[in-house]
Chains A and B, each alone.
Chain A
Amino acid sequence: MSDSSFVRTQMLPPEVPPLTERGLVRWMRENLFSSVLNTVLTLAGLAFVIYAVAATLPWFLNGVWNAKDIKECREIVLANAGPEATGACWALIRERWHQFLFGFYPADLYWRPVLALGLLLVSLAPLLYYSMRRANLILVGTVSVLTLIALALLAPGAALLVLFAGLFAALTAVAWYAPQKLVWLTLAFPLLAFALLWGGSVWGPIGVAAGFGILALVYSLTKSFLGVVVATGAGVVAAAVWWLMVQTSVTTALHGAIPLGIQAVNSDQFGGFLLAFVIGVTAIGASLPIGILLALGRRSDMMLIKTLCVGFIEFVRGVPLITVLFVATLLLGYFLPPQSNFDLILRVIILVTFFSAAYLAEVIRGGLAALPKGQYEAADALGLDYWQAQRLIIMPQALKVSIPGIVSSFIGLFKDTTLVAFVGLMDPLKGVTTIVRADVAWKGIYWEPYIFVGAIFFAVCFGMSRYSMYLERKLKTDHR
């Protein structure tokens, strides 16, 4: 008994777990077949996936990229895959992709919308990432490279390309050295985009910008002896006088003297995703200030203002967008002075702006409600007046909290721009598709354009919703 050496002095090396407890098998046991219900669900899911893939994959694989019409497509599929097979006809996309993206925008000017999109993303940088230098640089840099590649593919000419390269290099440099300075681009972007997309004389947008200059000038000159409120009023009146009465003659005269400008493009040539972006971005951008005012109005102590705001918001939120679009086409003409008549895209943008303002108002109201009461009291205690408190204390916090909501409003609005097809505009989904299908060569094609357009919508919306989730997480940690 003395040599009790069978007592181990060392640890045994751990056994490899049994087969069912390791690797793939364990993972499957835990994640797929942990109970009867789970097994049934897994099998059902598997059956569904297999069925879906089996039903659609051959169609995708047999796709034809190179054909001149649908007949040729079908013949190629027949020749390649036999009589029973079906195949997609991607040749349509190859032939008409530009109409899905740009509508009937002149082909040699495609660089203008592309450049505008690049500038849009750059000008969003300061809003999306505040003053985070690295994020700004990454965003601006990536956007610059992508835009330049896209522009180079469109081949607008070497001189222009060099110019754009310089422009984007400068923007990237600004994003690194002085990210706050990018805000100036953001402020100038609306006019810049207008000038780029619609073209025409450069004096029009400059004239509009001059109006804001006049507003600022009058305000700063009169502020000292009229007080803030009256000075603002005076500035607005002066600017309005300029815009409504003086501007047209001045810009016309200037254009006569120095005819600077680029080729004008009519708005009826806008279509496809270009139109979706123009309507979506303009409407959301323009509706933000209106939405803020409506949200503040809804929380106001003033009975009349509150009633008006609530009435407006609830009315707009209670009717479908399509009826609002019908109002734009059918009724707006009745409400305006008899001789006036302006283009459908603009009318649609105006009404869509009011429509989304009501939704944004609710989002921002949510942001305002999320602020602790202490913030308001603190602002009061500091002796700030209403607008100072809003500008310095309340809005920066409320807007920050509302950004995810604003982004999802934008996603919703962007998807809803497809409805403009029903009032005769060329949205990518139905408008362009109908036109493409009116061509005898492509009659009888259904799925391909829908898949193409759907995929682009998905990419854009999914990207934005991921961004909004990222932001939500970031904002959450800021608050804890």
Chain B
Amino acid sequence: MKKTMFLGTLAATTVLAGAAFAGTLDDVKARGELLCGANPGLTGFAAPDANGEYQGFDAALCKAIAAAVLGDATKVKFVPLSSEVRFTALASGEVDVLVRNSTATYSRDNDLKLDFPVINYYDGQGFMVKKDLGVSSAKELDGATVCIQTGTTTELNLADFFKHNNITYTPVTVQDDSEAQRNYLAGSCDAFTTDASGLAAVRSSFPDPENHIILPEIISKEPLGPAVRHGDNQWGDVVRWTYNALLIAEEKGITKANLAEVEASSTDPEVRRLLGLEGDMGVMLGLDNAAFKNAILANGNYGEIFEATIGTSTPIGLARGLNALWTQGGLQYAAPFR
């Protein structure tokens, strides 16, 4: 009897079923909605708020891409993905872009057939311990119990680090971030390891952040960035240049607030190209000429997004560090917009 419900949905969804793969850009346009793979809940990076609206550093990039492609930052559907299914979801076309604090690695690029067009956050794996443990370096963690989230690169780094330093540890594997924190706080483990940004985010949410220290060792490079499917270069370019536009906007001092003013008064040719006042930059990529302006309008430039979601003024309180613009000694460097 209830089979009909099925057929109804089937009928409805097969109509909606987007053609995946080859031309992701065309698919997104045809669908009128960007499917963005997101973390189901990592404070500061991507987590739904009380209204179910995804907010955070990664979520803002999704919205900027949606704004660039569709002209509307709200036309993005966030698909929460656990760390274990995220790449499969991307490969199978379930999402158009995966912005889920994922580390770009060689094997993910070549074995899993993904592309990481840009790095939106340079990170590294660190350790957090309770202050009263009396440990000041990760090398003193011999025999310690370490909480670790499964399905990430961190467990491989951890094994390598301890092996390299000839010390032992007991891993406590947990399913997701919130479980990891619970276990760490409850004392199931001496140390909690994940990306340093994650550690800071987690520590900020503790009732007593001053009682926890993040050890100085950064045991790995974790370049986090959006991932797209291998072989769809046009779509990769859309993601790359939307992101670059946000960086250039910061470089040129274009903010969400002063954009209209800059648009009216600026004589800088790169700014004029970026905002679509000169040339056909957007059209070259198969977008609208106002695409990058829309992207900036969505959440502001890179610096604004950073400050609003994870920066020092937020509870998470991350400093720009490596993620400062190259002009300020960081690694964020956008190719010229010409």
Contact = CB atoms under 8 A, between A and B. Distances in A.
Interface of A: 71, 74, 95-96, 99, 103-104, 186-187, 189-191, 193-194, 198, 200, 204-205, 207-209, 211-212, 243, 247-248, 266, 268-269, 281-282, 285-286, 288-289, 326, 329-330, 333-334, 338-344, 346, 349-350, 353, 422-424, 426, 431, 434-435, 437-440, 443-444, 446
A96 B51 CA distance: 10
Contacts of A343: 13
B8 interface: yes
A204 B15 CA distance: 11
B3 interface: yes
Interface string B76-95: 01111110010011001110
B29 interface: no
Contacts of B178: 434, 437-438
A256 to B, nearest CB: 14
7 contacts: A104-B52, A198-B12, A207-B11, A342-B17, A346-B9, A422-B82, A435-B48
B176 interface: yes
B215 interface: no
Nearest to A70: B207
B6 interface: yes
B311 to A, nearest CB: 15
Interface in B1-49: 1-21, 40-43, 47-49
A435 B113 CA distance: 30
Nearest to B37: A424
Given A208-B4, A341-B94, A440-B43, A329 B85 contact: yes
Interface in B209-248: none
A426 B82 CA distance: 12
Given A286-B5, A288-B1, A330-B88, A200 B43 contact: no
B19 A339 contact: yes
A435 B41 contact: yes
A96 B79 CA distance: 21
Q: Which of A200, A281, A282 has the most CB of B within 10 A?
A: A282
Contacts of B21: 338-339
B315 interface: yes
Nearest to A278: B5
B4 A191 contact: yes
B94 to A, nearest CB: 7
A434 B40 contact: yes
A424 B40 contact: yes
B185 interface: yes
Interface of B: 1-21, 40-43, 47-52, 77-82, 85, 88-89, 92-94, 175-178, 181-182, 185, 204-207, 315
Given A288-B1, A435-B40, A437-B41, A342 B82 contact: no
Contacts of A288: 1-2
Contacts of B17: 339-342
Given A104-B48, A339-B17, A346-B10, A330 B77 contact: no
B6 A350 contact: yes
The 4 closest A-B pairs by CB, nearest first: A285-B2, A104-B52, A438-B41, A333-B92
A446 B182 contact: yes
Q: Which of B1, B17, B40 has the most CB of A within 10 A?
A: B1
B5 A191 contact: yes
Q: Which of B4, B6, B20 has the most CB of A within 10 A?
A: B4
B175 to A, nearest CB: 8
Given A207-B11, A285-B1, A339 B20 contact: yes
Contacts of A209: 4
Contacts of A422: 82, 175
A182 to B, nearest CB: 14
A341 B18 contact: yes
B234 to A, nearest CB: 18
Nearest to A74: B207
B12 A204 contact: yes
Given A208-B7, A289-B3, A342-B13, 15 more contacts: A71-B207, A96-B50, A186-B1, A190-B3, A194-B4, A198-B9, A243-B11, A282-B6, A286-B2, A286-B6, A344-B79, A422-B82, A438-B41, A439-B47, A440-B205
A341 B185 CA distance: 41
A349 B12 CA distance: 15
B212 to A, nearest CB: 13
Nearest to B86: A424
Contact of A282 (B2, B12, B205): B2
A187 B1 contact: yes
A211 B94 CA distance: 30
B50 A286 contact: no
Given A204-B12, A248-B15, A438 B5 contact: no
Contacts of A340: 14, 17
Contacts of A338: 20-21
A289 B1 contact: yes
Given A286-B5, A435-B40, A443 B11 contact: no
A194 B2 CA distance: 10
A407 to B, nearest CB: 16
Contacts of A333: 92-94
B195 to A, nearest CB: 16
Given A104-B52, A333-B94, A424-B82, A349 B20 contact: no
A417 to B, nearest CB: 15
Contacts of B40: 424, 431, 434-435, 438
Contacts of B18: 341
A341 B20 contact: yes
Given A339-B20, A434-B41, A266 B2 contact: no
A341 B92 contact: yes
A237 to B, nearest CB: 15
A187 to B, nearest CB: 6
A101 B279 CA distance: 52
